[in-house]
Amino acid sequence: MGVCLNKFADKVPEPTLRRLPWYLSNLKLMRERGEMYVSSTQISKQINIDASQVAKDLSYVRITGRTRVGYEVDALIEALEDYLGFTRLHKAFLFGVGSLGGALLRDSGLHHFGLEIVGAFDVNPELVGTEINGIPIFHSDEFEKKMSKAQVNIGVLTVPINIAQEITDKMVAGGIKAVWNFTPFRIRVPEQIVVQNTSLYAHLAVMFNRLNFNQE
Amino acid sequence: MGVCLNKFADKVPEPTLRRLPWYLSNLKLMRERGEMYVSSTQISKQINIDASQVAKDLSYVRITGRTRVGYEVDALIEALEDYLGFTRLHKAFLFGVGSLGGALLRDSGLHHFGLEIVGAFDVNPELVGTEINGIPIFHSDEFEKKMSKAQVNIGVLTVPINIAQEITDKMVAGGIKAVWNFTPFRIRVPEQIVVQNTSLYAHLAVMFNRLNFNQE
């Protein structure tokens, strides 16, 4: 079984990247049950995804199963966590300590999946100088200074929509390379900047619509 | 201009439902700037989405613009908010008051977009009987009793992966019609039950991969 350390070399399709954490969580359950080997067919059955798709997705991780025996559970978990970037901490700054921003600062779960928010920015005088969950809150004006001292390239965007673009522009000018956008606003960035949109409100809209559709 | 109240009659494509909140937030900015009319071309330019796509998306909302004048900003905002389900409160229970669950209870923003979490369940004796952000936390055993008294059909799933399926089954047996799944676990539900997956960790994986891809 070969685990290739040349991770991130390929631009993996987004659907694959979204399925890999499903496999990972299932594998962790198998490990809890004491299982040592798993086949893509087994994963396929448990997750309800075609076995050939599972095998194809796992091929990106450059880990190969052995005929009849399958994948070694421990090794596959390790390879997936490593591949998905969950084993290394990626430092981030958060912008906008409102309701959602504050909630994300309190979510220690992000840390287990490789995101370490090392500081937050806001202009609210009641927040500046305080900390949440051990994370210091600075005045937004201090961003460039803090940026020059820290190895941070991810920005979490949780500001009101009317300043979403302005703050994004400042983040990018300051050297941020990836924006995790929680606002329902479609921000614009230069080509080389990564944007991950996670609009809880858009997800709510989809859920409400499906729910009402089913009930009619 | 006609606003049809027969909302939720169509099963709208998910990409459309995900774009509509973008239009909505842009329209709110326009309203702030005092603009009264907007064309799909204007929306298109601001959001960088093809104008014909914008017009098609908006046609689901059953609101039509007038030639030369376009859409009335106020009416379009109202129609979109109504259509997306943000103007009515949908009651929900949350299951699992860990780090992420607690964070979601504290996020009052969900309320503005139509989700009202009216109670949470956990088994941790330090949490049961307390409340977060005014939302009471009950023992998980009380779910069926609380369910019989409340008009709730949405369940927010923020439990550890090893009990994600078990809790989902209980939710569904108790009458929950839609599960907002924040776990990285792929839950299984009967056909008529709506599942909205929002795995922050899967989004992190995509972002890390793209970031590393750009930096190689």
The model's pLDDT over B150-183, given as tens digits with 9 standing for 90+, comes to 889 999 999 999 999 999 999 999 999 999 999 9
Alpha-carbon gap: A111 to the closest alpha carbon of chain B (Å): 10
Query: Which contiguous run of DSSP H or E holds residue A60?
Result: helix A51-60
- Residue in chain A closest to B201 (alpha carbons) equals A113
- CB-CB under 8 Å, B98 with A103: no
Q: Supply angle C-alpha B167, B171, B172, rounded to 5.
A: 120
- The values of phi and psi at residue A155, to 5°, are -120, 130
pTM, two decimals, is 0.87
**Do A158 and A77 belong to one domain?**
no
Percent pLDDT > 90 in chain A is 67
Segment A88-117 shows an average pLDDT of 93
B68 token code pair: 């030369």
* Rounded Cα–Cα distance for residues A92 and A86 (Å): 14
B119-159 residue pLDDT tens: 999 999 999 999 999 999 999 999 999 999 888 999 999 99
Which band of pLDDT confidence, cut at 50, 70 and 90, is reported for residue A216?
low
Say whether pLDDT at B10 is over 80.
Answer: no
Count of domains in chain A? 2
Q: What is the pLDDT of residues B14-27, one digit of tens each?
A: 899 889 999 999 99
Identify the band that residue B108 occupies on the pLDDT scale cut at 50, 70 and 90: confident
The reported pLDDT for the residue numbered A101 is: 95
Residue that finishes a domain, picked among A84, A107, A139: A84
Q: Which of B50, B84, B118 corresponds to the end of one domain?
A: B84
Total CB pairs under 8 A between chain A and B: 220
Q: Give the residue from A51, A84, A117 where a domain finishes.
A: A84
Same domain, A94 and A76: no
B163 class by beta-carbon count within 10 Å (0-12 exposed, 13-18 middle, 19+ buried): middle
- Report chain B residues whose CB lies below 8 A from the CB of A212: 7-8, 85
User: Minimal Cα–Cα distance from A124 to chain B, Å?
Assistant: 18
Q: Are the beta carbons of A99 and B106 separated by less than 8 Å?
A: yes
Dihedral angle sign, alpha carbons of residues A46, A50, A55, A61: negative
Q: Does residue B210 belong to any structural domain of this protein?
A: no
B211 lies in a domain? no
Task: Report whether pLDDT(B6) > 50.
Answer: no
Residues of A in contact with B104 (CB under 8 A): 103
For an interface test with B, the pick among A208, A211, A213, A214 (most B C-beta atoms closer than 10 Å) comes out as: A208
Residues from chain B that touch A14, judged by Cβ atoms under 8 A, are 206
- Taking residues B44-55, report their average pLDDT: 89
Q: Which residues in B lie closer than 8 A to residue A186 (C-beta atoms)?
A: 22, 25-26, 47-48
Q: Are residues B114 and B163 in the same domain?
A: yes
pLDDT digits (tens, 9 = 90+) for A81-99: 999 999 899 999 999 999 9
Report CB contact under 8 Å: A210, B103: no
Q: What percent of chain A has pLDDT over 70?
A: 95
Of A9, A177, A208, the CB nearest to B216: A9
- Per the structure, the complete domain to which residue A22 belongs is given by 9-84
Q: Are A201 and B21 a contacting pair at CB < 8 A? A: yes
A213 pLDDT more than 90: no
